[in-house]
Structure 1
Amino acid sequence: MDEQSRKEIAVRGRRAVAAMFFVNGFITGSWAPQIPVLLVRLEISKFTLGLLILLFGAGAVVAMSWCGHLIARHGSRIVLTRFAIAASFGLLLVALAPDVLLAAPAMIVFGGLIGAMDVAMNTNAVVAERRLGRAIMSSSHGFWSLGGFVGGGLGGLGIQTLGHLAHAAIITAIAFAGVMLAARHLVAEDRPAATGRIRFALPHNPFIYLIGIMALFSMTPEGAVLDWAALYLQQELGADLATASLAFAAFSGVMACMRFAGDAVRNRFGAVTTLRACALLAAAGMLGAGLAFSPWMAIVCFAFCGIGIANMVPIAFSAAGNQHGIPSGIGMSVVTTMGYCGILVAPSAIGFVAEHIGFGPVFISLSGLLFVVFLMAGLAHRADFSVGQPAE
C-alpha cells in the first residue's frame, strides 16, 4: 500500500472515530433532559434517583475496567463497533422501563454500554493520532461535546413536544444510523491481536494512577453538570424544563468550540501549560455557578466552566494512551475507569449531599477539585507525544 493510500485511510479513520465520539455524546446529552422526567414518571425521590444514577455509573465502571483487555486481544476497531451498536439502544431501554425494579437493570446495562464504548473510542483515537502524526484527541472530544450540545439542547423541547418515549426512539434511530455509517472506516492497530486468555493484571507504573486522579477530579464537576444542573436550575433557581436543559447544553456547546481549538493550543503552548490555564478557568466558572442567583447567570457560569474543562480530560487521556511500557488500551482503561467514576459514580453522592444542603454549596466545593488539577498539571507531559510513535 502506497503512502497516499495510507494517508487516505488515516483521514477516513479520523472522521469515523469523530463520528463515534459525536454519537456517544449525543446519547449522553439526550439522557440529561430525561433525568427530571424519570424523577416524575417513576414517582421517586432525589435519593432514589441518585441510586439509579449510581447503578448507571457502576455499570460503566465495571465495563471500563475490563474493556482495555478486550481491546488488547481484539483491537479497538472491533470492540468499538460492537459496543457502539449496542449503546445506540441504551436510552430507549431506560425510557421503556415502567418502574424502579426494571429501571435499575436498564441503567446498569445503559451505563456499561456507554462506558465500554468510551474506552474503545478513546483508544481508537490514539491509534488515529499516531497514524496521522498529529494530535486529534481534543477535537475528538469536541465532537463528543458537540453531540452533547445537540442532544441536550434539543432534548428538553423534544420531550415536551413528543413525550419521553418518542424522544428516546428518535435518538436511538439517529445514533444507530451514525454508528453504521462510521464503523467500516475505523482504523485498526498495526500489531496483531493478542491471543490466549485475557489477563486482568493492573499496570505497575504509578504515574498512570496519578493521571487517573487528575481525570477523576476533572470529570467529577462535569458529571455534576450533566446529572444535576437541570434540577439545580429547576428546583433552586426557578427555571422551567426547557431553560434548565440549557445548562448542560451551554456547557457542552462551549466545550465543543474550545476542544476543536484545543489541539492547536496544546501544540503551541504544551500540554502542561494548557492544562494549568484550563484548570483555573474551570474552577472560576464552577464557583460562579454555585453562587448564581438566577438561572441565566448559572447557565453563563456553567458555560465559562466548560471553557476550562474542555481540554483537561483530552490531555489526561492522551497522556494515558502514551505512557511508556503500557499498551494504549490498558492505560486508557485505567484512566477512563478512574475518571468516569467522577462523571458516573460521584454524581450519586452529590445527589445525597444536595438532599440536605442544596446544589449551590456542592458546586462551590467542586471548584476546589479543579484547583487540585492545576497543582498536578506537570504529570501531563506525556500528552506531548512524539510524532510517528508506533501504535501499541
Structure 2
Amino acid sequence: MLFATNGALIGGVGGTLPALRERLDVSASGLSLLLFCLAASAVVSMQIGGRLADRIGARPVALVTLTVLTLGVGLLAVTSSLPWAIVAMVLAGLGNGAMDVAMNSLGVEIEQSRPKPIMSRFHAFWSVGNLTAAGTIVLIARLFDRTGGSNVGPSLGTLCLAGLASIAVCVRIVPTGRRIEHKTDGVRTAIPRLAWALGLMAFCFGLAEGTAVDWSSVHVTDVARIDPSTGALGLVAVSGFMVIIRLLGDQAVAKVGRRAVVRVGGVTAIAGYLVTVLTDPLPLLLIGWALVGLGVGLVAPQVYAVAGHVGGGRMLAIVVTFGYSAFLVGPAIIGQLVEHFGVQNAMILPLVLSGCLVAVSAVLPRDDQVQQANP
C-alpha cells in the first residue's frame, strides 16, 4: 500500500507537468524551478527521515510523510500561482524523500522476518502505482479535452483522495518498525564504507532507469522514424517489463542470491542499450527497451535491500539519495548529449554506466554475510 500510493502520487505530479505549465503560464525554466524544489527538499528529508526511522521506528515516519506528500499534491491540485506551486512542490518533496527511505526500511524489516525475499515485489507495486497514475491522468485528460477545462485539478485531486484513503488503511495495517541504535559499547558506530559503493551503484542504475523512462519514447520515435503515439510503445516496453521482472525478482534472489541477480540485471541492461545504439527497426528497438526494463527492474530493490540490511535507515538514506539524484539529473544530461550527438549515440552513457554497475557489484556481500551484518 505504501509503495503503490507513493508511486501513484509521484507519477501524478510528473504526468501533469505539461498541463500545469499551461495553467501557471510558466516557461520551461519555471518547470525546472518546480522540479528543483521537489528534488532539493526530497534530498534533505531523506537524510532526516533515515535517521528518524532508526531512532523512533519507520512506521511513524512513513505515515507522517505520506500525509505530507498527499497534502503537497492536494495543494498543487488547487493552486494557480507559481509561488504556491513552489510551496506545494516543497511539501511533496519533503514527504516523498523521507517516505521513500521509511517504506524501504519497513520493507527490509519485513523481509528479515520472512524465510524468503520480498523487496522486489514492494518495488513492483511502486511501478504499478506509477502506471495507474498515468492511466488516470490520460482518462481524465481526454474527458476534460472535450469540455475545454484543465485536467490538473481533477487528476491530482483524484490521486490526493486516493492518498487520503490509503492513509486511513495504512494506519491500521502498517507494522511497528524497530529502533536501531548504531552503537557499540556506548560509542556511536560509523556508517559502513559499503554505503559509498552502493551509492555509486545506485547512481548508475538511477541514470539508466531515468533515461529509459524519460527518453525511450523519443528514442523510438526518432530512430525508427514513426509517429509519437507509436513511439510511446518504447515506454510501455520499459515500464511493463519492469513490473513483470519485479514481481518475479524475489524468486530469483531466493535461488541465486542478490549479487548474481544484480549482475544479471546489469548485463541485461547492457544488452538492451546495445540494441538501442546499434539498431533501427521498430521491433528490435522495442526488444532493446524491454531488455533495459528487465535489467534495471532487477537492480534497485536488491541494492536498497542490502543497504537497509547492513546499515539501517541512515545508510539507506545515503544510497537512496544517490539513486534519486541520478534519476532526476540523468535525463537532463542525456538531453544535452542528444542535442550534440543525437539520440542514438546518447544511449552510450547509460550503456557504460550499466557496465560500471556490473563491475562494482563485486563488492556486494553474500546473502549470509548480509544477514550477519543486520544492525
**TM-score, with length taken from structure 1:** 0.80
Correspondence 1:255 to 2:264: no
Query: Are the structure 2 counterparts of residues 44 and 361 from structure 1 closer, same or farther at C-alpha, using a change threshold of 3 Å?
Result: farther
Aligned residue identity for 2:156: A
User: After superposition, what is the alpha-carbon deviation per residue over 1:287-318, rounded to whole angstroms, capped at 9, x for unaligned?
Assistant: 44466768887555433311111120111011
Q: Distance in 2 between matches of 1:101 and 1:350?
A: 29
Partner of 1:267: 254
Larger RCO (CA within 8 A; separation ≥ 6)? 1
The whole-number CA distance in structure 2 between the counterparts of 1:91 and 1:249 is 25
Pairing 1:379–2:363 present:
yes
Amino acid at match of 1:371: G
Amino acid paired to 1:170? T
Q: Would you say the 8 A contact 1:223–1:346 is kept in 2?
A: yes
**Residue equivalent to 2:65:** 83
What's 1:169 paired with? 157
State the match for 1:285 in structure 2. Answer: 272
In structure 2, C-alpha distance between the alignment counterparts of 1:64 and 1:191, rounded to whole Å: 17
- Give the 3 Å change call, closer, same or farther, for CA 110–234 of structure 1 in structure 2: farther
Q: Distance in 2 between matches of 1:359 and 1:57?
A: 25
Q: Which runs of structure 2 are paired with 1:183-262 in the superposition (5 Å)?
A: 183-191=171-179, 203-229=190-216, 239-240=227-228, 247-262=234-249
Q: Please report how far the alpha carbon of residue 225 of structure 1 lies from its aligned counterpart in structure 2 after TM superposition.
A: 3.7
How far is the alpha carbon of 1:88 from its aligned partner?
2.2
Instruction: Decide which moves more: 28-37 or 274-283.
Output: 28-37
Aligned AA (2:320): T
SS in 2 for 1:222: helix
2:40 to 50, 54, 58: 58
Report the Cα distance in structure 2 between the residues aligned to 1:265 and 1:123, rounded to whole angstroms.
Answer: 21
Is structure 2 residue 126 aligned with structure 1 residue 126?
Answer: no
SS at match of 2:173: coil
Deviation at 1:235, TM superposition (A): 8.3
Q: Distance in 2 between matches of 1:221 and 1:360?
A: 14
Report the CA distance between 1:216 and its aligned residue: 1.3
* CA deviation vs aligned residue, 1:16-74 (integer Å, no higher than 9, x gap): xxx11111112223333323334444455545534432332212111112211111222
What is the alpha-carbon distance in structure 1 between the residues aligned to residue 109 and residue 51 of structure 2?
16
**Which residue number corresponds to residue 8 of structure 1?**
none
For 1:127, give the aligned amino acid: E
Residues 232-285 of structure 1: CA deviation (Å, up to 9, x unaligned): 677886655x76766545423321211111111011112111111111112232
Task: Give how far 1:165 is off.
Answer: 1.8
Letter in 2 for 1:183: V
- Name the CA distance, whole Å, in 1 between partners of 2:190 and 2:210: 26
The 1:213–1:31 alpha-carbon spacing in structure 2 relative to 1, beyond 3 Å, is same
Q: For the residues of structure 2 that align with 1:52 and 1:244, how far apart are their CA atoms? A: 27
Assess if the C-alpha contact under 8 Å between 1:56 and 1:108 holds in 2. yes
Q: Conserved in 1, the CA contact under 8 Å of 2:54 and 2:179?
A: no
AA paired with 1:171? Answer: L
1:116 aligned residue (98, 102, 105): 98
Q: Distance in 2 between matches of 1:143 and 1:175?
A: 15
CA contact (8 A) 2:58 2:177 kept: yes
Give the aligned partner of residue 316 of structure 1: 303
- Superposed, 1:20-169 pairs within 5 Å as 20-46=2-28, 48-162=30-144, 163-169=151-157
1:138 aligned partner, one-letter code: S
The residue type paired with residue 175 of structure 1 is G
Inter-partner Cα distance in structure 2 for 1:90 and 1:359: 35
Task: Indicate conservation of the 8 Å contact 1:256/1:310, yes or no.
Answer: yes
The one of 316, 329, 348 equivalent to 1:364 is 348
Contact conserved, 2:304 with 2:316, CA < 8 A, in 1? yes
Question: In the comparison of the two structures, how many residue pairs are matched?
Answer: 363
Contact 2:116 2:254 in 1 (8 A): no
What does the per-residue CA deviation read over 1:199-234, in whole Å, with 9 as the maximum and x for residues that have no partner?
A: xx9944211110111011111222234445566677
SS at match of 2:176: coil
Q: 1:190 to 1:55 in 2, by over 3 A?
A: closer
Give distance in 1, aligned partners of 2:17 and 2:202: 24
1:372 Cα offset (Å): 0.8
2:167 to 168, 175, 179: 179
Query: 1:104 offset after TM fit, Å?
Result: 3.3
Letter in 2 for 1:104: I
Greater shift, 117-126 or 368-377, is seen at 368-377
Q: Note closer, same or farther for the CA distance 1:187–1:257 as it changes in structure 2 (3 Å cut).
A: same
- Distance in structure 2 (CA, Å) of the matches to 1:93 and 1:384: 46
| Equivalent position SS for 1:381 | coil
Q: Distance in 2 between matches of 1:244 and 1:92?
A: 32
Residue type of the partner of 1:173? L
**What amino acid is the match of 2:206?**
M
Q: Distance in 1 between matches of 2:119 and 2:5?
A: 16
